Structure 1
Amino acid sequence: MKKYHAIVIGAGQSGMPLAKKISAKGLSVALIEKRALGGTCINDGCSPTKTMAASARIAHLVGRAGDFGVNVKDFSVDQKAVRDRKNHIVELFRGGATKGLQKAENLDIIMGEGVFQADKTLLVKKPGQEDLALEAKKYFINTGSAPNIPTIEGLKDCPYLDSTSIMELEETPKHLIVLGGGYIGLEFGQMFKRFGSKVTIMDMASRLVPREDSDVCEEISAIFKEEQIDTKFNIAVEKVSYANGKIMVSYDDKAGKGSISGSHLLVATGRKPSSEGLGLETIGVKLAGSGHIVVDDNFETSVPGIYALGDVAGSPPFTHMAYHDAHIAFNRIFEGNKSLSAKGRLVPYCVFIDPQLARVGWNEQQAKERGIPYETGKFWMKHSGRALETDETRGFFKVLVDPESKQILGATILSMDGGEIMAVIQMAMVGGVPYDQIQHLPIAHPTLAESLNNLMGQVKRTNK
């Protein structure tokens, strides 16, 4: 039985930085990972998908080359080369993460699957090797999440794809059917349409991006329609079948029963917390109905000395929030700094469709639900000098402000490089900069950011 001060289960974007920070204090740490260092972000999520999206954008731009006065006679997409480039980036990032961990003192990296025992020790199952029994004063669970595959008749007998396996394709699908119109489905749908696939997105919701304001939905819908991406809503999938290289999806909607066939099927119906198989029930760790581990302000579970962070603990499902969890947890637990908290923190995010959809703070529908007074301003990209120069005029900037304090309540940025602009607004919100001060700032020309002048000047005005 080897003893440590801390054992971290899962080498994701909470687990890795937390393990390094704890070890840097001279405390012994074991980092347990059953699959690959780097977690979902490096191996299955952010890094590989955005690398492939970059390839898809190049295909899109080459296809539009004539709009810029550049004549391209013909081009093709090499799906295998796209995959190989993605793999290279993943290996590069994973290698960097591994080297950083290996340099840390007092830190043991153990590849295997950790399972809690009744006496609150941890058994690490190592493939082809003898199990290890470990013990620690503190345990940190960062096992993340995994694709949620719904129960649909016939699905298990079909060669369906999930958000990981679709990135391993060596051929471009002729017709990709996407079950799920969430952010993952939208990113892959647009990506493969640009690679050359026919794409149909099906969702049970009544519209795209239902968490966003209706005008955001309308603009994204127009963009997808322009790119000839087919979308179907209010869909209840009843059955999936596979025969002769074709996948048939049978469904029911408001118009009645129907079916659609395609060459490939992507199941992008959300993710679920990876809380199973850890032996949590044997030690009494409480789970929410969703399967997330219940934690308090210190990220401590119902069992003293056992903590959980990131997706598995119900934090906003973004890499940067998992990383922030580790930052907060370390400071609260090991530095005694209780001023840092996950409560009330701004949750920025960016969806890497093109143009990017970025959000921070409240949107209109949330403000209305909560009875929050607000004024709004909107500035369309078709009026932006930088957008016109680059011929990237789709989308808009939108802001909500407090009528009395003039503080920014939130913003939605649907534009080229939208995530970068959202970060500027986030810093203004944290710094308490009133919107009218931004309106009158001299911002370098010609940049996308200077459209923030125009955006803030639109507050209170009709945005048609």
Structure 2
Amino acid sequence: MPTSFDLIVLGAGTTAFAGARIAAAAGKKVLMIEQSHLGGTCVNWGCIPSKTLIHKAEMYHGARKGEGWGLNLQAGAPHCGTLMPLKQKAVVTVRETHYQREVDQSPNIKVIKARGHFISPCEIDAGGTIYSAPHMLIATGGEPRVVPIPGLDTVNFLTSYNALHLPCFPQSIVILGGGVIALEMGQMFARFGTRVTILERGPRLLAEFDLRLTELFRMMLEQEGVEILCNVEAQRVEKHGDNTCLFALINGAEVGFSAERLMLAIGTSPVTKNLGLEEIGVETDQAGFIKVDRQLRTNVPGIWAAGDVTGAPLIAPAGAREAQIAVKNILDPSGNHSIDHRFSPMAVFVDPEFATVGLTNIQAEAQGYSVLTTYVDLERVPKAHVMGEMLGGVLLTAEQGTGKILGVQMLCPRAADIIHEATLAIRFGLSVVDLSTTVHVYPSISDGLRQAARDNAQMQGLI
């Protein structure tokens, strides 16, 4: 007889725990099946190790940048023998204090280390033992996408996973990709002294952000010594002595890029292979992401999915909220709880930070809105001059006539924190008048958001 639970969760990362926590608090017996470490990608191979190194790179860069302000600090070479163990200590500490401790203290949550495989919609084989439950939540997450470039299997290439666990920083690196991971990792490596080349297949970096912001950041990265090329089509990879050479087409001509290491940062693939989804009829798209409705249900009754395994927005807090919604629907089938990712902010942890929430002007117009977008250059913000950080800007998109705020994008210091003000404004239907007439601390970077709202309100004749 299978061992029975009320809910089985595949995975034990941020998304999985968010769902398991709600079910356990409601008195349900929950089994979590995890083939690797508690905490999933975010804790072990993503958010925690990457942001730890990014933060330390910012500190290291700041020490050198202070010379222009008369702060004559001398930055020696980074000491990897100290830095890397401390980074790993941060990973282990978060894993143990935020995840293992919760398992230890919750009598309703059991975790087993195995790879789960569906044998029916309500049964899973994990390590040779059959477990059953009336409800299943698939929260297996994603992993770095790898494409079959000829010769790639002959070199020791990097992804965001193993690049964060190197013993020290390489002398040089070629990064294929121009999205979030490529820019975060590229800037971090460059600030620690690595010669960095970023190659993007498309015509521009960070396609989800406004070109006015991305071009500013591209210019800044190039000033820091990062080489950036777009419209690059990878052709093949070869090993040349101690270096790896990526050959690519640029404007029809083949160009070789040689570096100590090659890193792929070309997106995320869902962890859905060998789960038995095909056998039980769970639908996935062409890329393997599980299809779900607004309530996070798959097409198979009793099976739910949340987080990166379902596709965009591919950010841990959004996945956690999806899992909470899924479990709320399991506990309350008539509730029809759903999630609207227009209210899910995201940030890129480069320096200065990118952040966005809501709709762009193009997306808003496609949905039938008549919109007005205003842009405030960071040079207009007094706090930027205090900090000596004038490169950046704030864009605000609002509905014409009502002034209802629809979307905000930012490139500025602390954007990942400031974006929450915009998130609340959009979620609760505030207008540019509401935001512009709210007293803001002076001087502060968030005053740039107030200025963008004020400009928008004035141009619409609302104030």
Letter in 1 for 2:15: S
Structure-2 residue corresponding to 1:128 = none
Contact conserved, 2:201 with 2:233, CA < 8 A, in 1? Answer: yes
Structure-2 residue corresponding to 1:268 = 265
Q: CA–CA distance in 2 between the matches of 1:26 and 1:185?
A: 43
* CA displacement 1:55-82 (0-9 Å, x = unmatched): 1101110111212321123421123433
Q: CA–CA distance in 2 between the matches of 1:33 and 1:275?
A: 13
Structure-2 residue corresponding to 1:301 = 298
Alignment of 1:90-101 (within 5 A): 90-96=91-97, 97-101=99-103
Q: CA–CA distance in 2 between the matches of 1:445 and 1:264?
A: 45
Alignment of 1:60-75 (within 5 A): 60-75=61-76
1:315 Cα deviation from its structure 2 partner: 4.5
1:364 Cα deviation from its structure 2 partner: 2.9
Letter in 1 for 2:299: S
1:143 Cα deviation from its structure 2 partner: 0.3
1:368 Cα deviation from its structure 2 partner: 4.6
* CA displacement 1:120-170 (0-9 Å, x = unmatched): 421112xxxxx2211111111100001111110100110111101011112
Contact conserved, 2:121 with 2:300, CA < 8 A, in 1? Answer: no
1:325 Cα deviation from its structure 2 partner: 0.5
Aligned-pair Cα RMSD in Å: 1.7
Letter in 2 for 1:254: N
Contact conserved, 1:350 with 1:358, CA < 8 A, in 2? Answer: yes
Alignment of 1:232-243 (within 5 A): 232-243=229-240
Q: CA–CA distance in 2 between the matches of 1:321 and 1:185?
A: 21
Alignment of 1:22-421 (within 5 A): 22-96=23-97, 97-118=99-120, 120-125=122-127, 131-254=128-251, 256-336=253-333, 338=335, 340-343=337-340, 345-421=342-418
Structure-2 residue corresponding to 1:436 = 433
Letter in 1 for 2:101: K
1:443 Cα deviation from its structure 2 partner: 1.4
Contact conserved, 2:173 with 2:260, CA < 8 A, in 1? Answer: yes
TM-score by length of 2: 0.95
Moved more, 223-232 or 29-38: 223-232
Contact conserved, 2:292 with 2:310, CA < 8 A, in 1? Answer: yes
Structure-2 residue corresponding to 1:17 = 18
Tell me the percent identity.
Answer: 28
Letter in 1 for 2:391: R
Q: CA–CA distance in 2 between the matches of 1:413 and 1:455?
A: 11
CA gap of 1:395–1:119, structure 2 versus 1, over 3 A, is closer
1:352 Cα deviation from its structure 2 partner: 0.5
Moved more, 444-453 or 334-343: 334-343
Contact conserved, 1:189 with 1:199, CA < 8 A, in 2? Answer: yes
Give 3-state SS (helix, strand or coil) of 2:133's partner: strand
Contact conserved, 1:172 with 1:195, CA < 8 A, in 2? Answer: yes
1:264 Cα deviation from its structure 2 partner: 0.9
Q: CA–CA distance in 1 between the matches of 2:89 and 2:341?
A: 38
Structure 1 residue runs of 4+, over 6 Å off? none
* CA displacement 1:98-128 (0-9 Å, x = unmatched): 1012211222111111111157421112xxx
Contact conserved, 1:4 with 1:136, CA < 8 A, in 2? Answer: yes
Q: CA–CA distance in 1 between the matches of 2:77 and 2:357?
A: 38
Q: CA–CA distance in 2 between the matches of 1:152 and 1:180?
A: 14
Gaps of 5+ in 2: none
Letter in 2 for 1:110: I
Moved more, 2-11 or 432-441: 432-441
1:449 equivalent in alignment to 2:451:
no
1:455 Cα deviation from its structure 2 partner: 1.9
**Count of residues paired in the alignment:** 457
Contact conserved, 1:122 with 1:133, CA < 8 A, in 2? Answer: yes
Moved more, 184-193 or 38-47: 38-47
Give 3-state SS (helix, strand or coil) of 1:64's partner: helix
Moved more, 230-239 or 209-218: 209-218
Give 3-state SS (helix, strand or coil) of 2:456's partner: coil
Q: CA–CA distance in 1 between the matches of 2:279 and 2:313?
A: 27
